[in-house]
Amino acid sequence: QKEVEQDPGPLSVPEGAIVSLNCTYSNSAFQYFMWYRQYSRKGPELLMYTYSSGNKEDGRFTAQVDKSSKYISLFIRDSQPSDSATYLCAMSGSWGKLQFGAGTQVVVTP
Amino acid sequence: EPEVTQTPSHQVTQMGQEVILHCVPISNHLYFYWYRQILGQKVEFLVSFYNNEISEKSEIFDDQFSVERPDGSNFTLKIRSTKLEDSAMYFCASTSDSPLHFGNGTRLTVT
């Protein structure tokens, strides 16, 4: 079983729709959960991070962590074409050594 | 906002040659990392570095790889004898006590 599973997509949504992304994981030692956005041939850009379980909201973005189910989610409200990118989940027992998901390619069509 | 800076953005080298990838981490950060991403694959951890020594490394980081912090600002990754399978994006990252900040990477092409 892979440590972090993420559907690679692509996920295509119309502008204004809600984008729903998720990852599952197997390692119960993970405490830090992050979402990064990556544009083609660029570095991962931090979007959201959460320590342990719970929800966190930042503007149009909401991150959720359910440690009992080993499941994390990212929601993007009112999606824009500029949100088109690959979204990577990442998690770890500390800030540094991250386990990444495969990334989900999101396409927001005008 | 402070950034992690990586140079060069693209490096082409021949198999068997040595390459050095350069990174300038965010200035007040204490922990430094190298990750790599082979085209179409996951971002993978290579090595972490703290207090002038390697704190952890993955099984990918074999004897062909080395890291160095030659001065107070630079952090380098050296691949001694490159192989075709070393072709990838290499990302430097740094942190103090927060999520990692990544640079935009060096695309290494080994021919």
Mean pLDDT for chain B overall: 95
Q: Burial of B83 by CB count in 10 Å (0-12 exposed, 13-18 middle, 19+ buried)?
A: exposed
**Cβ-defined contact of A96 to B33 (cutoff 8 Å):** yes
pLDDT of A91 higher than 80: yes
Q: Considering only residues B60 and B97, tell me which one the structure prediction assigns the higher pLDDT.
A: B60
Q: Which residues of B touch A96 (CB under 8 A)?
A: 31, 33, 48, 56, 95, 100
Taking the C-alpha atoms of residue B73 and residue A68, their distance in angstroms, rounded to an integer, is: 42
Structure-block tokens of residue B55: 């704190």
Strands B106-110 and B10-13: parallel
What are A37-56's pLDDT values in tens digits? 999 889 999 999 998 888 99
Residue pair A35/A47 in contact (Cβ under 8 Å)? The answer is yes
Question: Please, what's the b/e burial string for B39-76 (b: 16 or more CB within 10 A of its CB; e: otherwise)?
Answer: eeebbbbbbbbeeeeeeebbeebeeebebebeeeeebe
Residue range B98-107: average pLDDT? Answer: 94
Shortest Cα distance from A95 to chain B (angstroms)?
Answer: 5
Give, in degrees to the nearest 5, the angle at Cα B54 between B45 and B16: 70
Instruction: Give the pLDDT score at A1.
Output: 62
Amino acid at A17: A
pLDDT average, residue stretch A82-101: 93
Residue A35 — pLDDT band, cuts 50, 70, 90? very high
pLDDT of residue A72: 97
* B43 contacts on A by Cβ (under 8 Å): 44, 88, 90, 98, 100
Work out how many CB contacts closer than 8 A connect A with B: 54
Residues A105, A10 contacting (CB under 8 angstroms): yes
Supply the Cα-derived Rg of chain B in whole angstroms.
13
A51 and chain B in contact, CB less than 8 A? no
Residues 88-107 of B with CB under 8 A from A: 89, 91, 95, 97-105, 107
Task: Work out the percent of chain B whose per-residue pLDDT is above 70.
Answer: 100
Residue B28 burial (CB < 10 Å; 0-12/13-18/19+)? exposed
Nearest one of B32, B26, B12, B23 to B104, comparing CA atoms:
B23
Mean pLDDT across the stretch B8-32? Answer: 96
Name which of B4, B56, B102 is nearest A97 (Cβ-Cβ). Answer: B56
Cβ contact, residue pair A102, B100, below 8 Å: no
Q: How many other CB atoms sit within 10 Å of the CB of residue B27?
A: 9
- In this structure, how many other beta carbons lie within 10 angstroms of the beta carbon of residue A21? 22
